[in-house]
Structure 1
Amino acid sequence: MKAFVFPGQGAQFVGMGKDMYDSNPEAKAMFEKANETLGFRITDLMFEGTDEDLKQTKVTQPAIFLHSTILAKVMGDKFAPEMVAGHSLGEFSALVAAGALSFEDGLKLVSKRAMAMQKACELEPSTMAAIIGLDDEKVEEVCNKIDEIVVPANYNTVGQLVISGSVAGIDQAIEQLKELGAKRAMKLPVGGAFHSPLMEPARVELEKAINETNIENPVCPVYQNVTAAGERDPKEIKENLKKQLTAPVKWTQTVKNMIADGASSFTEVGPGKALQGMVKKVDRKMPVESATAE
């Protein structure tokens, strides 16, 4: 079975999507629709902006979403998914590509999500850290013992877990995890504690928008971050989407479940190759590739 996966924040680069805009009339129309929907020319920032422009959450998230969903569209017959999943923000791209969300509704939700997350980040200084070379259970144990908000946020792949929480909590966790033998324990250059209880204000704001959005039956199962299970029921998809901002991204479990359910290859749709690397860490022999336009 062909699995298609969609990247999250961090995969952006200046010039992303310009080749599709220039060479494909359908892609150009979708980008222009996005400019209109967002109320600013995001294409200018994507194609000719600076790294700093693209790092702003309100730009990063819609930019990656646009690159992924438009690429899926212009792949034509090459995009024939039997299962899909997206990492964090990428889940919205996966839902649009699988026909559960319209392009415009997906873009509006991603834009609202980015703004809400930005606001939540400004309420309290918070951060995330990547922990490499320790069992998930050890990292979870340390997080539980710290008297601050510190939680597992992204189960990225075997031996790589990202934690999220208050600055003081993350500092304590890094120290303790290094003592336990972590190969690396380092803060990430992010604006806040994504996928942690500190995102609750953003979750509340986004929940309202999700409730008002129509979700259809997808063309194939969508493996969601919150459960790591393939879902087709629009009601369940909606509920899982609402929990996503404060719950961990179960990516390792997602990849394992997709393989157990019959995935025979993984195609990454969007900027970067991060997800391909994560899949390879779970199963070295699994064929992976980057999506290309028709």
Structure 2
Amino acid sequence: MNAYIFPGQGAQYQGMGKDLYEKSEKAQELFKKANDILGYSITDIMFEGSAEDLKQTKVTQPAVFLHSVILSKVLGDSFKPDMVAGHSLGEFSALVANGVLSFEDGLKLVYKRAMAMQHACELEPSTMAAVLGLEDEMVEAVCAEVDGTVVAANYNCPGQLVISGEVKAVEEACEKLKEKGARRAMLLPVGGAFHSPLMEPARKELAEAIENATFNKPICPVYQNVSTFAVTDPEEIKKNLVFQLTAPVKWTQSVQNMIKDGATHFTEVGPGKVLQGLVKKIDRSAETASATI
């Protein structure tokens, strides 16, 4: 069975999407529509902007979303997923690709999400850190011991977990994790504590927009970050999407469940190859590829 997977924030690169635009009239039409919806020329930044330009919150998330979704649309009849999943932001791309959200609604929600997350980051100094070489349970236990807010945020693959929370709490957790034998525990250059309780203001802000959007029956199951199991009910998809901002990204568990349910081939749709690498670390026998036109 074919699983299609969609990357999240951090996958952006200079010039992203330009080849799509040049090769496809359909892509040109969708990129122009995106500029109109956003009220600024995101294509100028994607195609010609610097790495620093692409790091702007109002740009990064819509840019990765657009690259993934437009690529899935341009693939046409060759895009035949039996199941889909997306990493954090990538879940919105997955939901447009499998027919749950329209292109327009998906882009509006992603932009709203980006701005809501930015606002939440400004309320309190917070950060994230990558932890390598420890069991998940050990990382969770150390986080629970630390005063302040610090939680497991991204279960990326066995031995690779990201923690998230208040700056002081994350720094203390990193020191304790090194003492426990972590190969690395290092702060990440991010704007705030994504997928932690500190994103509660953003969750509230986004919840209303999600409630007001139209969610359709998907063409295939989506394995969501919050639940990790196959979901096809639009109301359940909506509920999981609301909680995604404050809940951890359970990527390891989602991929394991996709494989358990018959996935043998994973195609990454969007910029970069990060998710293919994670899938291989979760199950070396899985076949992976990048979507190309």
- Same fold at TM > 0.5: yes
Deviation sequence 1:104-141 (CA, Å, 0-9, x none): 00000000000000010011110000000000000000
Deviation sequence 1:259-291 (CA, Å, 0-9, x none): 000001000000000000000001112110000
Root mean square deviation, CA, Å: 0.5
User: 1:12 offset after TM fit, Å?
Assistant: 0.1
Q: Tell me, which stretches of 5 or more residues in structure 2 are unaligned? A: none
Whole-angstrom CA distance in 2 between matches of 1:238 and 1:20: 30
2:269 corresponds to: 269
User: 1:221 offset after TM fit, Å?
Assistant: 0.2
Q: Tell me, which stretches of 5 or more residues in structure 1 are unaligned? A: none
1:126-141 aligned within 5 A:
126-141=126-141
Whole-angstrom CA distance in 1 between matches of 2:58 and 2:122: 13
1:259 corresponds to: 259
Whole-angstrom CA distance in 2 between matches of 1:279 and 1:233: 26
Letter in 2 for 1:69: V
User: 1:249 offset after TM fit, Å?
Assistant: 0.3
SS in 2 for 1:215: coil
1:29 corresponds to: 29
Letter in 2 for 1:161: L
2:96 corresponds to: 96
Deviation sequence 1:162-202 (CA, Å, 0-9, x none): 00000000000000000000001001110000000000000
Letter in 2 for 1:158: P
Whole-angstrom CA distance in 2 between matches of 1:8 and 1:23: 24
Letter in 1 for 2:278: M
User: 1:77 offset after TM fit, Å?
Assistant: 1.9
Whole-angstrom CA distance in 1 between matches of 2:40 and 2:22: 19
User: 1:78 offset after TM fit, Å?
Assistant: 1.8
1:139-154 aligned within 5 A:
139-154=139-154
Letter in 1 for 2:287: P
1:206 corresponds to: 206
Whole-angstrom CA distance in 1 between matches of 2:207 and 2:191: 21
Q: Which moves more between the two structures, 277-286 or 91-100?
A: 277-286
Whole-angstrom CA distance in 2 between matches of 1:23 and 1:176: 51
User: 1:237 offset after TM fit, Å?
Assistant: 0.3
Letter in 2 for 1:196: S
User: 1:227 offset after TM fit, Å?
Assistant: 0.6
2:233 corresponds to: 233
2:45 corresponds to: 45
Letter in 2 for 1:118: Q
User: 1:91 offset after TM fit, Å?
Assistant: 0.1
1:247 corresponds to: 247
1:119 corresponds to: 119
Letter in 2 for 1:199: M
1:9 corresponds to 2:9:
yes
Whole-angstrom CA distance in 1 between matches of 2:239 and 2:222: 13
Whole-angstrom CA distance in 2 between matches of 1:71 and 1:238: 24
Letter in 2 for 1:187: L
Letter in 1 for 2:102: S
Whole-angstrom CA distance in 1 between matches of 2:147 and 2:69: 41
User: 1:22 offset after TM fit, Å?
Assistant: 1.2
2:169 corresponds to: 169
Greater than 2 Å deviation, 4+ residue runs: none
User: 1:23 offset after TM fit, Å?
Assistant: 1.5
Instruction: Count the aligned residue pairs.
Output: 293
TM-score normalised according to structure 1 size: 0.99
User: 1:57 offset after TM fit, Å?
Assistant: 1.4
1:109 corresponds to: 109
Whole-angstrom CA distance in 2 between matches of 1:145 and 1:57: 32
Whole-angstrom CA distance in 2 between matches of 1:286 and 1:207: 35
Whole-angstrom CA distance in 2 between matches of 1:290 and 1:184: 29
Letter in 2 for 1:137: E
1:18 corresponds to: 18
Letter in 1 for 2:256: K
SS in 1 for 2:267: strand
User: Share of identical aligned residues, percent?
Assistant: 69
